[in-house]
Chain A
Amino acid sequence: MFIQNRQHNLGLGFLVVSLLWLTSCSTVKPSEKAYLSDGEMLLTLRKLEKLEINFQLYREGSAGATGGKSGGGCGCN
Protein backbone atom coordinates (compact mmCIF):
# COMPACT_ATOMS: atom_id res chain seq x y z
CA MET A 1 0.00 0.00 0.00
CA PHE A 2 1.46 3.29 -1.07
CA ILE A 3 0.24 5.26 1.92
CA GLN A 4 2.84 4.80 4.60
CA ASN A 5 1.77 4.43 8.22
CA ARG A 6 3.29 7.71 9.29
CA GLN A 7 1.48 9.69 6.62
CA HIS A 8 -1.71 7.73 7.28
CA ASN A 9 -1.56 8.71 10.96
CA LEU A 10 -0.81 12.30 10.03
CA GLY A 11 -3.85 12.43 7.76
CA LEU A 12 -6.06 10.77 10.34
CA GLY A 13 -4.85 13.17 13.05
CA PHE A 14 -5.51 16.13 10.75
CA LEU A 15 -9.04 14.87 10.14
CA VAL A 16 -9.80 14.20 13.83
CA VAL A 17 -8.46 17.59 14.96
CA SER A 18 -10.38 19.32 12.19
CA LEU A 19 -13.63 17.56 13.09
CA LEU A 20 -13.20 18.36 16.80
CA TRP A 21 -12.53 21.96 15.89
CA LEU A 22 -15.50 22.16 13.59
CA THR A 23 -17.93 20.72 16.10
CA SER A 24 -16.80 23.05 18.87
CA CYS A 25 -17.82 26.26 17.12
CA SER A 26 -20.41 28.72 18.35
CA THR A 27 -23.71 29.08 16.50
CA VAL A 28 -23.96 32.11 14.26
CA LYS A 29 -27.51 33.28 13.50
CA PRO A 30 -28.49 34.11 9.89
CA SER A 31 -28.89 37.78 10.87
CA GLU A 32 -25.25 37.81 12.01
CA LYS A 33 -23.83 36.59 8.69
CA ALA A 34 -23.27 39.93 6.98
CA TYR A 35 -19.48 39.43 6.80
CA LEU A 36 -19.76 35.74 5.93
CA SER A 37 -22.15 36.51 3.06
CA ASP A 38 -19.71 38.85 1.36
CA GLY A 39 -18.77 37.65 -2.15
CA GLU A 40 -15.09 37.51 -1.21
CA MET A 41 -15.83 35.15 1.70
CA LEU A 42 -17.22 32.32 -0.42
CA LEU A 43 -15.61 28.96 0.32
CA THR A 44 -15.44 28.12 -3.36
CA LEU A 45 -13.14 29.14 -6.17
CA ARG A 46 -13.74 32.45 -7.89
CA LYS A 47 -15.00 31.98 -11.43
CA LEU A 48 -11.69 33.19 -12.83
CA GLU A 49 -9.68 30.92 -10.56
CA LYS A 50 -11.19 27.98 -12.45
CA LEU A 51 -9.41 29.17 -15.60
CA GLU A 52 -6.15 29.52 -13.64
CA ILE A 53 -6.58 26.07 -12.09
CA ASN A 54 -7.11 24.70 -15.59
CA PHE A 55 -3.58 25.53 -16.73
CA GLN A 56 -2.06 24.47 -13.39
CA LEU A 57 -3.81 21.12 -13.81
CA TYR A 58 -1.82 20.62 -17.03
CA ARG A 59 1.52 22.04 -15.91
CA GLU A 60 1.61 20.23 -12.56
CA GLY A 61 1.35 16.56 -11.73
CA SER A 62 -1.20 16.82 -8.94
CA ALA A 63 -4.75 18.13 -8.80
CA GLY A 64 -7.97 17.97 -6.84
CA ALA A 65 -9.57 19.14 -3.58
CA THR A 66 -10.31 22.50 -5.16
CA GLY A 67 -13.86 21.86 -6.29
CA GLY A 68 -12.68 22.45 -9.85
CA LYS A 69 -12.20 20.11 -12.75
CA SER A 70 -10.52 16.83 -11.94
CA GLY A 71 -10.76 14.90 -15.17
CA GLY A 72 -11.76 15.05 -18.81
CA GLY A 73 -9.83 16.86 -21.52
CA CYS A 74 -6.28 16.07 -22.45
CA GLY A 75 -3.95 19.01 -21.90
CA CYS A 76 -1.04 16.99 -23.16
CA ASN A 77 0.80 19.71 -25.04
Chain B
Amino acid sequence: MLKINLSLLGLLFSLVQIYAQSFIMDSTMLYKKKALSFEEANIMSSYYHQEGNHSAITGGVGTEKLSDFANVIDLKLNRYDGRGKKYTYGAEFGVDYYTSASSDKIDMKVSSASSSDVRVYPSLNYSVENEKTGLVLGGNVAFSKEYDYTSIGGGFNFNKKSKSQNTEFGAKINVFLDTYSQIVPSEFRANLPSRQQKKGEIGNAARNTYDLSMTLSQVISKRFQLALTLDFAYQSGLLSTPFHRVYMNDGSLLRENLPGSRFKIPIGIRANYFIGERLIIRSFYRYYQDDWGMKSHTAHIELPVKVSSAYSISPFYRYYHQTAIDHFAPFKENLVGAEFFSSDYDLSAFASQFYGIGIRHTPYKSIANLFSISQLELRGALYDRSDGLSAGIVTFHVQFKGF
Protein backbone atom coordinates (compact mmCIF):
# COMPACT_ATOMS: atom_id res chain seq x y z
CA MET B 1 0.00 0.00 0.00
CA LEU B 2 2.83 2.26 0.98
CA LYS B 3 4.60 1.38 -2.30
CA ILE B 4 1.46 2.28 -4.26
CA ASN B 5 1.09 5.54 -2.41
CA LEU B 6 4.73 6.44 -3.03
CA SER B 7 4.28 5.60 -6.71
CA LEU B 8 1.19 7.77 -6.88
CA LEU B 9 3.05 10.54 -5.10
CA GLY B 10 5.90 10.21 -7.61
CA LEU B 11 3.44 10.31 -10.47
CA LEU B 12 1.78 13.36 -8.97
CA PHE B 13 5.16 15.10 -8.61
CA SER B 14 5.99 14.25 -12.21
CA LEU B 15 2.67 15.64 -13.43
CA VAL B 16 3.14 18.81 -11.36
CA GLN B 17 6.66 19.17 -12.77
CA ILE B 18 5.47 18.65 -16.36
CA TYR B 19 2.59 21.07 -15.77
CA ALA B 20 4.97 23.60 -14.23
CA GLN B 21 7.37 23.27 -17.19
CA SER B 22 4.54 23.65 -19.69
CA PHE B 23 3.30 26.66 -17.75
CA ILE B 24 6.79 28.20 -17.89
CA MET B 25 7.01 27.51 -21.63
CA ASP B 26 3.55 28.95 -22.17
CA SER B 27 4.52 31.98 -20.11
CA THR B 28 7.57 32.50 -22.30
CA MET B 29 5.46 32.14 -25.40
CA LEU B 30 2.86 34.46 -24.00
CA TYR B 31 5.57 36.92 -23.09
CA LYS B 32 6.82 36.95 -26.69
CA LYS B 33 3.34 36.80 -28.22
CA LYS B 34 3.11 40.55 -28.30
CA ALA B 35 1.27 43.04 -30.37
CA LEU B 36 3.32 45.36 -32.54
CA SER B 37 5.82 47.15 -30.33
CA PHE B 38 8.35 49.92 -30.69
CA GLU B 39 11.94 48.65 -31.03
CA GLU B 40 14.09 51.58 -32.09
CA ALA B 41 14.10 55.00 -33.73
CA ASN B 42 17.03 57.05 -34.98
CA ILE B 43 17.35 60.68 -35.94
CA MET B 44 20.48 61.64 -37.87
CA SER B 45 21.64 64.95 -39.25
CA SER B 46 24.73 65.98 -41.14
CA TYR B 47 26.22 69.14 -42.56
CA TYR B 48 28.77 68.72 -45.34
CA HIS B 49 30.76 71.42 -47.12
CA GLN B 50 33.40 71.10 -49.83
CA GLU B 51 35.72 73.41 -51.76
CA GLY B 52 37.61 72.50 -54.89
CA ASN B 53 38.61 73.73 -58.30
CA HIS B 54 37.99 70.87 -60.71
CA SER B 55 34.30 70.93 -61.47
CA ALA B 56 33.22 68.46 -64.14
CA ILE B 57 30.35 70.80 -65.08
CA THR B 58 32.85 73.35 -66.36
CA GLY B 59 35.14 70.76 -67.96
CA GLY B 60 37.50 69.96 -65.07
CA VAL B 61 38.20 73.57 -64.11
CA GLY B 62 36.16 75.89 -61.90
CA THR B 63 34.64 75.88 -58.46
CA GLU B 64 33.30 72.73 -56.81
CA LYS B 65 31.90 74.61 -53.82
CA LEU B 66 28.98 72.62 -52.42
CA SER B 67 27.04 72.40 -49.16
CA ASP B 68 24.66 69.66 -48.15
CA PHE B 69 22.37 69.47 -45.13
CA ALA B 70 20.95 65.98 -44.63
CA ASN B 71 18.35 64.69 -42.19
CA VAL B 72 17.31 61.07 -41.82
CA ILE B 73 14.78 59.50 -39.47
CA ASP B 74 14.12 55.80 -39.17
CA LEU B 75 11.69 53.74 -37.16
CA LYS B 76 11.68 50.03 -36.35
CA LEU B 77 8.71 48.09 -34.96
CA ASN B 78 8.48 44.39 -34.20
CA ARG B 79 6.18 41.67 -33.04
CA TYR B 80 6.55 37.99 -32.10
CA ASP B 81 4.17 35.28 -33.21
CA GLY B 82 4.64 33.12 -30.11
CA ARG B 83 6.34 30.36 -32.12
CA GLY B 84 9.83 31.78 -32.13
CA LYS B 85 9.42 34.11 -35.10
CA LYS B 86 10.15 37.79 -34.94
CA TYR B 87 8.64 40.16 -37.51
CA THR B 88 10.38 43.50 -37.99
CA TYR B 89 8.91 46.46 -39.86
CA GLY B 90 11.15 49.39 -40.71
CA ALA B 91 10.61 52.77 -42.32
CA GLU B 92 13.10 55.49 -43.16
CA PHE B 93 12.70 59.00 -44.48
CA GLY B 94 15.54 61.23 -45.58
CA VAL B 95 15.70 64.80 -46.86
CA ASP B 96 18.82 66.49 -48.24
CA TYR B 97 19.07 70.15 -49.11
CA TYR B 98 22.11 71.18 -51.09
CA THR B 99 23.54 74.19 -52.84
CA SER B 100 26.12 73.76 -55.58
CA ALA B 101 28.09 76.54 -57.19
CA SER B 102 29.09 74.36 -60.13
CA SER B 103 25.50 73.38 -60.92
CA ASP B 104 24.85 77.06 -61.33
CA LYS B 105 27.17 76.88 -64.37
CA ILE B 106 25.02 74.41 -66.33
CA ASP B 107 23.51 77.49 -67.85
CA MET B 108 26.29 80.08 -68.12
CA LYS B 109 23.80 82.91 -68.63
CA VAL B 110 21.23 82.44 -65.88
CA SER B 111 21.15 80.67 -62.52
CA SER B 112 20.24 77.00 -63.01
CA ALA B 113 17.36 75.33 -61.21
CA SER B 114 19.69 72.71 -59.77
CA SER B 115 22.08 75.24 -58.18
CA SER B 116 20.11 74.32 -55.08
CA ASP B 117 17.88 71.32 -54.74
CA VAL B 118 16.07 69.04 -52.34
CA ARG B 119 16.35 65.27 -52.45
CA VAL B 120 13.82 63.11 -50.61
CA TYR B 121 14.35 59.39 -50.09
CA PRO B 122 11.78 57.30 -48.22
CA SER B 123 12.17 53.53 -47.86
CA LEU B 124 10.42 50.58 -46.21
CA ASN B 125 11.81 47.25 -45.07
CA TYR B 126 10.42 44.05 -43.63
CA SER B 127 12.05 40.92 -42.21
CA VAL B 128 11.11 37.66 -40.51
CA GLU B 129 13.58 36.08 -38.14
CA ASN B 130 13.24 32.52 -36.94
CA GLU B 131 15.04 32.61 -33.60
CA LYS B 132 15.18 28.80 -33.41
CA THR B 133 16.90 28.26 -36.75
CA GLY B 134 18.78 31.58 -36.98
CA LEU B 135 17.27 32.28 -40.40
CA VAL B 136 16.29 35.81 -41.46
CA LEU B 137 14.41 36.62 -44.66
CA GLY B 138 13.60 40.17 -45.64
CA GLY B 139 12.83 42.68 -48.34
CA ASN B 140 12.89 46.41 -48.95
CA VAL B 141 11.62 49.08 -51.31
CA ALA B 142 13.22 52.50 -51.75
CA PHE B 143 12.48 55.71 -53.59
CA SER B 144 14.60 58.78 -54.22
CA LYS B 145 13.65 61.99 -55.99
CA GLU B 146 15.51 65.16 -56.84
CA TYR B 147 14.99 67.77 -59.54
CA ASP B 148 16.40 65.82 -62.48
CA TYR B 149 16.78 62.32 -61.04
CA THR B 150 14.33 59.67 -59.83
CA SER B 151 15.28 56.31 -58.38
CA ILE B 152 13.06 53.34 -57.56
CA GLY B 153 14.71 50.41 -55.82
CA GLY B 154 13.95 47.14 -54.13
CA GLY B 155 15.70 44.10 -52.82
CA PHE B 156 15.73 40.89 -50.83
CA ASN B 157 18.03 39.75 -48.07
CA PHE B 158 18.81 36.41 -46.47
CA ASN B 159 20.83 35.71 -43.32
CA LYS B 160 21.63 32.43 -41.59
CA LYS B 161 23.40 31.96 -38.27
CA SER B 162 25.19 28.75 -37.38
CA LYS B 163 23.92 26.64 -34.46
CA SER B 164 26.71 27.98 -32.24
CA GLN B 165 25.84 31.54 -33.39
CA ASN B 166 29.52 32.14 -34.11
CA THR B 167 29.20 32.15 -37.90
CA GLU B 168 26.72 34.06 -40.00
CA PHE B 169 26.22 34.22 -43.75
CA GLY B 170 24.20 36.97 -45.37
CA ALA B 171 23.25 37.70 -48.96
CA LYS B 172 21.48 40.75 -50.34
CA ILE B 173 20.20 41.52 -53.82
CA ASN B 174 19.20 45.07 -54.72
CA VAL B 175 17.96 46.60 -57.95
CA PHE B 176 17.71 50.34 -58.59
CA LEU B 177 15.78 51.54 -61.64
CA ASP B 178 16.67 55.18 -62.11
CA THR B 179 15.46 57.81 -64.54
CA TYR B 180 17.61 60.74 -65.55
CA SER B 181 15.82 63.84 -66.82
CA GLN B 182 18.67 65.00 -69.05
CA ILE B 183 19.62 68.65 -68.79
CA VAL B 184 22.35 69.84 -71.14
CA PRO B 185 24.68 72.84 -70.75
CA SER B 186 23.60 76.13 -72.34
CA GLU B 187 26.05 75.75 -75.27
CA PHE B 188 24.12 72.66 -76.45
CA ARG B 189 20.64 74.20 -76.48
CA ALA B 190 20.75 76.17 -79.74
CA ASN B 191 19.13 73.43 -81.84
CA LEU B 192 16.51 72.49 -79.28
CA PRO B 193 12.84 73.49 -79.80
CA SER B 194 12.30 76.93 -78.25
CA ARG B 195 10.13 75.45 -75.48
CA GLN B 196 13.06 73.29 -74.28
CA GLN B 197 15.80 75.87 -74.70
CA LYS B 198 15.33 77.59 -71.35
CA LYS B 199 15.61 74.45 -69.19
CA GLY B 200 17.78 72.52 -71.62
CA GLU B 201 15.88 69.28 -71.14
CA ILE B 202 16.36 66.72 -73.87
CA GLY B 203 14.30 63.84 -72.50
CA ASN B 204 14.65 61.00 -70.03
CA ALA B 205 17.28 58.26 -69.92
CA ALA B 206 17.45 55.12 -67.80
CA ARG B 207 20.23 54.08 -65.43
CA ASN B 208 19.87 50.69 -63.77
CA THR B 209 21.96 49.17 -60.98
CA TYR B 210 21.98 45.49 -59.98
CA ASP B 211 23.85 44.65 -56.81
CA LEU B 212 24.60 41.31 -55.14
CA SER B 213 26.32 41.49 -51.75
CA MET B 214 27.48 38.50 -49.69
CA THR B 215 28.90 38.67 -46.16
CA LEU B 216 30.44 35.97 -44.01
CA SER B 217 30.85 36.94 -40.33
CA GLN B 218 32.86 34.91 -37.85
CA VAL B 219 33.57 35.07 -34.13
CA ILE B 220 37.26 34.24 -33.71
CA SER B 221 37.60 34.54 -29.94
CA LYS B 222 35.87 36.16 -26.96
CA ARG B 223 37.32 39.52 -28.05
CA PHE B 224 37.78 39.24 -31.81
CA GLN B 225 35.37 38.98 -34.70
CA LEU B 226 35.53 39.70 -38.40
CA ALA B 227 33.43 39.84 -41.55
CA LEU B 228 34.29 39.28 -45.18
CA THR B 229 32.14 40.99 -47.82
CA LEU B 230 32.10 40.42 -51.57
CA ASP B 231 29.91 42.51 -53.90
CA PHE B 232 29.10 42.23 -57.56
CA ALA B 233 27.52 45.36 -59.01
CA TYR B 234 26.44 45.94 -62.59
CA GLN B 235 25.19 49.25 -63.97
CA SER B 236 23.70 49.93 -67.37
CA GLY B 237 22.12 52.85 -69.21
CA LEU B 238 23.22 56.46 -69.12
CA LEU B 239 26.28 56.40 -66.85
CA SER B 240 27.67 59.74 -67.95
CA THR B 241 26.25 63.00 -66.62
CA PRO B 242 24.44 64.97 -69.34
CA PHE B 243 25.58 68.39 -68.10
CA HIS B 244 29.28 67.57 -67.67
CA ARG B 245 31.33 69.51 -70.21
CA VAL B 246 34.50 68.11 -71.80
CA TYR B 247 36.96 70.39 -73.62
CA MET B 248 38.90 68.28 -76.14
CA ASN B 249 42.57 68.74 -77.02
CA ASP B 250 41.64 70.84 -80.10
CA GLY B 251 39.58 73.21 -77.93
CA SER B 252 36.20 71.88 -79.10
CA LEU B 253 33.45 71.41 -76.53
CA LEU B 254 31.50 68.16 -76.10
CA ARG B 255 29.31 66.61 -73.45
CA GLU B 256 30.76 63.80 -71.31
CA ASN B 257 30.38 60.37 -72.89
CA LEU B 258 31.00 57.15 -70.96
CA PRO B 259 30.28 53.48 -71.73
CA GLY B 260 26.72 52.24 -71.27
CA SER B 261 27.65 49.57 -68.75
CA ARG B 262 29.98 49.14 -65.79
CA PHE B 263 30.82 46.03 -63.78
CA LYS B 264 32.28 46.51 -60.29
CA ILE B 265 33.78 44.04 -57.82
CA PRO B 266 34.62 45.30 -54.33
CA ILE B 267 35.86 42.90 -51.65
CA GLY B 268 36.19 44.03 -48.05
CA ILE B 269 37.21 42.69 -44.68
CA ARG B 270 36.15 44.19 -41.37
CA ALA B 271 37.88 43.13 -38.13
CA ASN B 272 37.07 44.33 -34.60
CA TYR B 273 39.15 43.58 -31.52
CA PHE B 274 38.48 44.47 -27.87
CA ILE B 275 41.72 45.19 -26.00
CA GLY B 276 41.66 45.25 -22.19
CA GLU B 277 38.56 46.87 -20.74
CA ARG B 278 38.51 50.22 -22.52
CA LEU B 279 39.99 50.12 -26.00
CA ILE B 280 38.53 48.67 -29.18
CA ILE B 281 40.13 48.45 -32.60
CA ARG B 282 37.67 48.75 -35.48
CA SER B 283 39.35 48.20 -38.84
CA PHE B 284 38.30 47.85 -42.46
CA TYR B 285 40.09 47.19 -45.74
CA ARG B 286 38.60 47.11 -49.25
CA TYR B 287 39.97 46.31 -52.68
CA TYR B 288 37.93 47.43 -55.67
CA GLN B 289 38.18 46.88 -59.40
CA ASP B 290 35.89 47.64 -62.34
CA ASP B 291 35.86 47.27 -66.12
CA TRP B 292 36.42 51.01 -66.71
CA GLY B 293 40.02 50.52 -65.56
CA MET B 294 39.66 51.77 -62.02
CA LYS B 295 41.26 50.03 -59.05
CA SER B 296 41.18 51.28 -55.50
CA HIS B 297 42.34 50.49 -51.99
CA THR B 298 40.59 51.70 -48.83
CA ALA B 299 41.93 51.29 -45.29
CA HIS B 300 40.03 52.56 -42.26
CA ILE B 301 40.87 52.36 -38.58
CA GLU B 302 38.88 53.63 -35.63
CA LEU B 303 39.91 53.41 -31.97
CA PRO B 304 36.96 53.83 -29.61
CA VAL B 305 38.10 54.44 -26.03
CA LYS B 306 35.61 53.99 -23.21
CA VAL B 307 36.37 56.89 -20.91
CA SER B 308 33.51 55.87 -18.57
CA SER B 309 30.58 53.48 -18.58
CA ALA B 310 28.46 56.02 -20.47
CA TYR B 311 30.97 57.85 -22.66
CA SER B 312 33.37 56.81 -25.40
CA ILE B 313 35.64 58.80 -27.68
CA SER B 314 36.50 57.49 -31.15
CA PRO B 315 39.31 58.95 -33.25
CA PHE B 316 39.37 57.55 -36.79
CA TYR B 317 41.48 57.69 -39.93
CA ARG B 318 40.76 56.51 -43.48
CA TYR B 319 43.18 56.34 -46.39
CA TYR B 320 41.91 55.86 -49.93
CA HIS B 321 43.67 55.57 -53.27
CA GLN B 322 42.21 55.09 -56.73
CA THR B 323 43.52 54.90 -60.28
CA ALA B 324 41.79 56.85 -63.04
CA ILE B 325 39.24 55.30 -65.37
CA ASP B 326 40.53 54.69 -68.92
CA HIS B 327 38.41 57.55 -70.29
CA PHE B 328 39.53 60.35 -67.97
CA ALA B 329 41.73 63.26 -69.02
CA PRO B 330 42.05 66.79 -67.58
CA PHE B 331 40.83 70.02 -69.22
CA LYS B 332 41.69 70.10 -72.95
CA GLU B 333 43.56 66.80 -72.82
CA ASN B 334 40.90 64.37 -74.05
CA LEU B 335 41.76 63.23 -77.57
CA VAL B 336 39.55 64.31 -80.44
CA GLY B 337 37.96 61.22 -81.98
CA ALA B 338 37.94 59.19 -78.76
CA GLU B 339 34.77 57.20 -78.27
CA PHE B 340 34.50 57.91 -74.55
CA PHE B 341 35.77 60.92 -72.61
CA SER B 342 35.35 62.63 -69.25
CA SER B 343 37.01 65.37 -67.18
CA ASP B 344 35.27 64.39 -63.96
CA TYR B 345 37.94 64.43 -61.24
CA ASP B 346 35.85 62.04 -59.11
CA LEU B 347 36.98 59.46 -61.70
CA SER B 348 40.62 60.62 -61.85
CA ALA B 349 43.66 59.14 -60.06
CA PHE B 350 44.01 60.51 -56.55
CA ALA B 351 44.57 59.67 -52.91
CA SER B 352 42.38 60.96 -50.11
CA GLN B 353 42.54 61.12 -46.34
CA PHE B 354 39.56 61.29 -44.03
CA TYR B 355 40.15 61.84 -40.33
CA GLY B 356 38.15 62.96 -37.35
CA ILE B 357 36.76 62.15 -33.95
CA GLY B 358 33.45 61.07 -32.51
CA ILE B 359 31.99 61.17 -29.03
CA ARG B 360 29.27 58.78 -27.99
CA HIS B 361 27.07 58.97 -24.91
CA THR B 362 24.83 56.07 -23.85
CA PRO B 363 22.57 57.54 -21.15
CA TYR B 364 19.68 55.04 -21.26
CA LYS B 365 17.48 57.79 -19.92
CA SER B 366 13.84 56.71 -19.67
CA ILE B 367 11.14 59.00 -21.00
CA ALA B 368 7.68 58.54 -19.45
CA ASN B 369 8.41 54.79 -19.13
CA LEU B 370 7.64 54.44 -22.84
CA PHE B 371 11.12 54.46 -24.34
CA SER B 372 14.65 55.53 -23.51
CA ILE B 373 17.29 57.69 -25.10
CA SER B 374 19.84 54.96 -25.65
CA GLN B 375 22.54 56.81 -27.55
CA LEU B 376 23.76 60.27 -28.51
CA GLU B 377 26.66 60.61 -30.91
CA LEU B 378 28.48 63.54 -32.48
CA ARG B 379 31.20 63.18 -35.11
CA GLY B 380 33.31 65.68 -36.98
CA ALA B 381 35.80 64.96 -39.76
CA LEU B 382 37.91 66.52 -42.49
CA TYR B 383 38.51 65.17 -45.98
CA ASP B 384 41.50 66.04 -48.17
CA ARG B 385 41.88 64.84 -51.74
CA SER B 386 45.24 65.02 -53.48
CA ASP B 387 43.77 67.02 -56.40
CA GLY B 388 43.06 69.87 -53.99
CA LEU B 389 39.46 69.17 -53.04
CA SER B 390 38.86 69.59 -49.31
CA ALA B 391 35.73 69.02 -47.27
CA GLY B 392 34.38 68.85 -43.76
CA ILE B 393 31.42 67.00 -42.30
CA VAL B 394 29.65 67.16 -38.94
CA THR B 395 27.13 64.47 -38.06
CA PHE B 396 24.77 63.98 -35.15
CA HIS B 397 22.74 60.96 -34.07
CA VAL B 398 20.18 60.32 -31.37
CA GLN B 399 18.74 56.87 -30.80
CA PHE B 400 15.60 55.87 -28.91
CA LYS B 401 14.92 52.30 -27.78
CA GLY B 402 11.70 50.66 -26.67
CA PHE B 403 11.43 48.65 -23.47
Interface residues of A, Cβ cutoff 8 Å to B: 2-3, 7, 11, 14-15, 18-19, 22, 25-28, 30, 32-36, 38-43, 46-48, 50-52, 54-56, 58-67, 70-74, 76-77
Are the CB atoms of B231 and A72 closer together than 8 Å? no
Instruction: From the candidates A35, A48, A54, A65, name the one contacting B268 in the complex (CB within 8 A).
Output: A65
Task: State A34–B223 Cα separation when bound (angstroms).
Answer: 9
Interfacial chain A residues near B102, Cβ < 8 Å? 77
Interface residues of B, Cβ cutoff 8 Å to A: 42, 44, 46, 48, 50, 57, 66, 68, 70, 72, 98, 100, 102-103, 114, 119, 121, 142, 144, 146, 148-149, 151, 153, 164-167, 174, 176, 178, 180, 209, 211, 213, 215-223, 225-231, 233, 235, 241, 243-244, 263-270, 272, 274, 280, 282, 284, 286-291, 293-294, 296, 298, 304, 306, 312, 314, 320, 322, 325, 346-347, 352, 354, 358, 362, 375, 377, 379, 381, 383, 385, 389, 391, 393, 395-397, 399
Task: For the complex formed, measure the closest distance between the CB of B286 and the CB atoms of chain A, giving whole angstroms.
Answer: 5
Task: For the complex formed, measure the closest distance between the CB of B230 and the CB atoms of chain A, giving whole angstroms.
Answer: 7
Task: State A47–B116 Cα separation when bound (angstroms).
Answer: 26
Task: State A54–B322 Cα separation when bound (angstroms).
Answer: 17
The 6 closest A-B pairs by CB, nearest first: A71-B209, A65-B268, A64-B266, A65-B266, A74-B149, A62-B288
Task: For the complex formed, measure the closest distance between the CB of A9 and the CB atoms of chain B, giving whole angstroms.
Answer: 14
Interfacial chain A residues near B228, Cβ < 8 Å? 15, 18, 22
Q: A65-B229, A72-B151 are in contact. List 12 more A-B contacts (CB 8 A).
A: A18-B228, A19-B216, A35-B222, A43-B217, A48-B377, A51-B72, A59-B391, A64-B268, A65-B213, A65-B286, A71-B153, A77-B114
Count A-B contacts at CB 8 Å: 213
Chosen A-B contacts, 14 in total, with CB atoms closer than 8 Å, are A3-B289, A15-B230, A28-B164, A30-B165, A41-B282, A47-B44, A52-B381, A63-B264, A65-B266, A67-B215, A70-B209, A71-B176, A72-B144, A74-B149
Are the CB atoms of B213 and A67 closer together than 8 Å? yes
Q: A58-B346, A65-B230 are in contact. Are A72 and B153 (CB under 8 A)?
A: yes
Chain A residue with Cβ nearest B243: A76
Are the CB atoms of B379 and A48 closer together than 8 Å? yes
Instruction: From the candidates B178, B211, B221, B381, name the one contacting A26 in the complex (CB within 8 A).
Output: B221
- Listed residue (B142, B215, B222) with the most chain A CB atoms within 10 angstroms of its CB: B222
- Listed residue (B102, B215, B325) with the most chain A CB atoms within 10 angstroms of its CB: B215
Task: State A49–B391 Cα separation when bound (angstroms).
Answer: 16
Are the CB atoms of A67 and B229 closer together than 8 Å? yes
Task: State A66–B268 Cα separation when bound (angstroms).
Answer: 7
Chain A residue with Cβ nearest B395: A48
Are the CB atoms of A64 and B233 closer together than 8 Å? yes
Interfacial chain A residues near B377, Cβ < 8 Å? 46-48
Interfacial chain B residues near A59, Cβ < 8 Å? 50, 346, 352, 383, 385, 389, 391
Are the CB atoms of B216 and A22 closer together than 8 Å? yes
Task: State A51–B144 Cα separation when bound (angstroms).
Answer: 15
Task: State A27–B168 Cα separation when bound (angstroms).
Answer: 13
Interfacial chain B residues near A48, Cβ < 8 Å? 44, 46, 358, 377, 379, 395-397
Are the CB atoms of B362 and A39 closer together than 8 Å? yes
Are the CB atoms of A64 and B213 closer together than 8 Å? yes
Chain A residue with Cβ nearest B241: A76
Task: State A36–B165 Cα separation when bound (angstroms).
Answer: 12
Are the CB atoms of B389 and A43 closer together than 8 Å? no
Task: For the complex formed, measure the closest distance between the CB of B127 and the CB atoms of chain A, giving whole angstroms.
Answer: 15
Task: State A62–B296 Cα separation when bound (angstroms).
Answer: 7
Chain B residue with Cβ nearest A30: B165
Task: For the complex formed, measure the closest distance between the CB of A20 and the CB atoms of chain B, giving whole angstroms.
Answer: 12
- Listed residue (B57, B263, B289, B314) with the most chain A CB atoms within 10 angstroms of its CB: B289
Task: State A42–B209 Cα separation when bound (angstroms).
Answer: 28
Are the CB atoms of A22 and B42 closer together than 8 Å? no
Instruction: From the candidates A15, A34, A52, A73, name the one contacting B149 in the complex (CB within 8 A).
Output: A73
Task: State A44–B151 Cα separation when bound (angstroms).
Answer: 25
